[in-house]
């Protein structure tokens, strides 16, 4: 995601000063492509840049890039603006905003509801959280990532965009799990699946995931655009929010259980469409045969 966002911004005229990634070879290749510096230090990214966009995997990684005592993005960060795009807990975004403010910098949530294709074409759906004045300052950049701003919504103060993103992914994951069950049962019943998908698309069973994941479920093409592991993580965020509000969300819990099952089965790096591997007969991870117990040795009979 981060690489394609950088490519898009380069295309529309923004200089990309620095690239950092824990995979140094990936950072080097992208930096050469974009005419940027592949830094080995987070602080160097901040030194070279006015606006820093972060795309990391989870809460731990997000906090690490801002708090590591040996090297972090807030070293020399006065006057800089950070746009953090990971799907993480709302409280983490609030904490990052506090840390940035203490360092004389600013922080925004730039939660994304799209995939790598949209990152490259500049058609990401962005949900923005944080200080509105900071948003207005960097809005021209974010506009170039969100179809001239048509696909961008300012949600509110820090943490609010992350809450909305958690709800988006919660509902998406429920829909994906439901579609996989519907198609899996249709397959078991011998229904023509392309016809079934056509009927779904013309009735109340229609959904966005039918368009994005339906064919992949039929064809078992689970090239990763949004992994099952991320689906499990994001559903978990929504469940924690529901728990805080003392609200029961059984469908979200069921979807979380299915995606977690994928991860435990070693399918976590498949696209979320891979959840169909759990619902179609004859698919899914093969169970390992139980190990045979060694035959008990017979004790020699005692002579009387």
Q: Which residues are CB-neighbours of 187 under 8 A, at least 6 positions away? A: 193, 280, 281
Q: In Å, how far are 64, 87, 125 from 147, measured between CA atoms? A: 31, 21, 8
Spell out the SS3 assignment of 161-181: HHHHHHHHHHHHHHHHHHHHH
Residues 14 and 289: their CA atoms lie apart, in Å, by 57
Instruction: Please tell me the predicted confidence (pLDDT) of residue 115.
Output: 87
CA–CA gap between residue 100 and residue 98 (Å, rounded): 5
Give residue-wise pLDDT tens across range 160-209. Answer: 999 999 999 999 999 999 999 999 999 999 999 999 999 999 999 999 99
| Token code pair at residue 12 | 């529309």
Start-to-end Cα distance in the chain = 80
Q: Are 106 and 100 in contact (CB under 8 A)?
A: yes
The H or E element spanning position 184 is: helix 160-188
Whose structure tokens read 């103060």?
157
How much is the pLDDT for 304? 45
Here the tokens at position 89 are 């807990």
User: Which tokens in the block code for residue 101?
Assistant: 């403010």
Residue stretches of the chain with pLDDT short of 70? 287-304
- Structure confidence at residue 175 (pLDDT): 98
The confidence score (pLDDT) of residue 285 equals 76
- Cα-based distances in Å from 164 to 33, 86, 160, 210, 282: 35, 13, 6, 22, 37
Looking at the DSSP bridge assignments, the partners of residue 128 are 110, 154
Q: What is the pLDDT of residue 14?
A: 97
61: helix, strand or coil = helix
């Amino acid at each position: 995601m981060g690489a394609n966002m950088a490519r898009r911004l380069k295309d529309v005229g923004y200089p990309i000063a620095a690239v950092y990634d824990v995979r140094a070879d990936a950072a080097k290749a992208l930096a050469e492509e974009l005419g940027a510096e592949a830094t080995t230090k987070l602080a160097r990214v901040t030194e070279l840049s006015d606006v820093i966009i972060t795309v990391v995997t989870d809460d731990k990684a997000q906090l690490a890039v801002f708090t590591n005592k040996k090297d972090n993005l807030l070293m020399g960060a006065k006057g800089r603006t950070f746009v953090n795009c990971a799907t993480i807990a709302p409280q983490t975004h609030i904490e990052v905003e506090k840390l940035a403010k203490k360092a004389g910098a600013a922080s925004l949530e730039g939660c994304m509801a799209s995939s790598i294709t949209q990152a490259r074409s500049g058609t990401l759906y962005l949900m923005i959280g944080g200080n509105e004045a900071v948003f207005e300052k960097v809005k021209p950049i974010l506009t170039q990532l969100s179809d001239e701003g048509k696909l961008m919504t300012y949600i509110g103060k820090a943490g609010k965009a992350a809450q909305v993103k958690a709800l988006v992914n919660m509902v998406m994951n429920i829909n994906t799990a439901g579609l996989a069950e519907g198609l899996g049962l249709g397959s078991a019943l011998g229904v023509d699946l392309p016809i079934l998908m056509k009927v779904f698309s013309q009735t109340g069973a229609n959904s966005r995931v039918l368009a994005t994941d339906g064919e992949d479920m039929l064809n078992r093409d689970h090239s990763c655009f949004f992994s099952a592991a991320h689906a499990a993580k994001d559903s978990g965020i929504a469940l924690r929010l529901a728990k805080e509000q003392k609200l029961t969300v059984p469908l979200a819990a069921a979807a979380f259980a299915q995606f977690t099952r994928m991860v435990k089965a070693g399918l976590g790096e498949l696209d979320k469409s891979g959840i169909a591997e759990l619902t179609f007969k004859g698919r899914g991870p093969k169970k390992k045969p139980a190990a045979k117990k060694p035959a008990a040795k017979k004790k020699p009979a005692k002579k009387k």
